[in-house]
Structure 1
Amino acid sequence: PPPDAGVDAASDGDTIDGAPPPTGPVRAPYGLDARPANPTCKAPARPPAAAPVKLERAFASVVLDAPIAMAQPPGDKARWFVAQRNGRVLTFPVASPPAAPPVAADLEVLTQRAVYIGIEGGLLGMAFHPRFAQNGRLYLLWTTFDQRGFVSEVGELTSTNGGATFD
């Protein structure tokens, strides 16, 4: 083989342990050797090319800053919660939403640490506990910095006032 190019094993023929690379099919210790038959799994028919599609902006009067997720608590179709990349969770009613929804939770205030929004970071996910009406629990995923560097954190917030605010 050519001298080690220092890039990867594929470019110069070397392997990590110094053994020559395999020359035939490689059998993995896991996975399938062949795709199993699945004759009942069929895609539905394509819709007509001229099918009417119309996109409408929902809650056009509501001003949001980099919304990442919207969710409604289980069983509560009267309001929305919006996770914004900056670490804030806003809430507003479906009927007559305000232009500037109130902040129900602010991760930077609650954690006393910055939410890192660089690259693809920030508040990235939000989920209500299935029994939110009884326990007030909301789960969030966000990025921050600590002594280890850039990290993802998952937190549980609790509301004692039906979701108006969280601790």
Structure 2
Amino acid sequence: MTATLTHAQADRDSRDARSLLREYLDWIGTHVGLDLTAAQPAAVAEFDDLPGFYRPPAGALVPARLGSRPAGMVAVHRLAGRTGELKRMYVNPRARGHGLGRDLIAAAVAAATDLGFTALWLQTKPDAMPGAEYLYRSYGLTEIAPYGGLHAEGVTTLALPLSQPEKGSR
């Protein structure tokens, strides 16, 4: 089955992203034992205005469908200057095993590059999400010093430098 990834712009994309965000928050709560809104109080504003928070030039939201069903999502958002953050990476358990995680990372890197970011950072919990940790590192992300206000033990911070296209090559 082929995955379809789109930048959230249409109403259906926004509905898919909201549905996937609810799944993501439930999954994080159940499998990671983390109430994300308690750990990241600023996330409440993000969740209340999901499409607006990720609107260019500040970010991008990429939901994915596998066949006709919402299957996963990833987002990027400007942290500071030309550094972006890979956020809310999630693949529905029914959609795992189709390479969608790698496709979502590639979409996040492409979106971050299009937004002019020169680095992409993320935070993850390797003990709770070993598959994600493996995927991130296999894509070339490496550990850096922690950033931001995520108040959870066992969080690892990873980064990927991004190359920018030569001027005039687009």
Normalising by the smaller structure, the TM-score range is: under 0.3
Compare relative contact order (CA 8 Å, sep 6+) and give the higher one, 1 or 2: 2
Bigger Cα Rg: 1
With structure 1 as the length reference, what TM-score do the two structures score?
0.24
With structure 2 as the length reference, what TM-score do the two structures score?
0.24
